[in-house]
Amino acid sequence: MVSYIYGQAAGLKVKGSAADIARIMRPIDRAYLRPGDLVFFNTLNRSYSHVGIYIGDARFVHAPATNGKVRIDRLSDRYYAERYEAAGTFFD
């Protein structure tokens, strides 16, 4: 999902797993998140196993399953708050 959206909206080629993307983005503090930045979670008992795109107001869009469903959740939702790892950006 991240690869598709970044390609369509920003013309950026971002490929690989959430962990691969985490290695190439610029880390930022959660307090400085802006729409379009990435948020990373540990959802499979391994670092950077899930990624979403921050959309503002403490919300992010992501595809939590491989069935093609995309949804919006809040960073403060207990499940994601407990699994939050980092944030990053490709933008200045």
User: For the residues 25-37, what does the mean pLDDT come to?
Assistant: 97
- In terms of Cβ atoms closer than 10 Å to its own Cβ (0-12, 13-18, 19+), residue 73 is middle
Domain around 52:
2-89
Closest CA to 41 of 30, 49, 53: 49
CATH code assigned at 71: 3.90.1720.10
pLDDT band of residue 68 (cuts 50, 70, 90) is confident
User: For the residues 30-39, what does the mean pLDDT come to?
Assistant: 97
Kind and range of the H or E run holding 9: helix 2-10
Closest CA to 28 of 18, 38, 41: 38
Which pLDDT value is given to residue 65?
81
Distance CA 6, CA 68 (A): 17
Number of domains in the chain: 1
Which pLDDT value is given to residue 7?
94
pTM value is 0.94
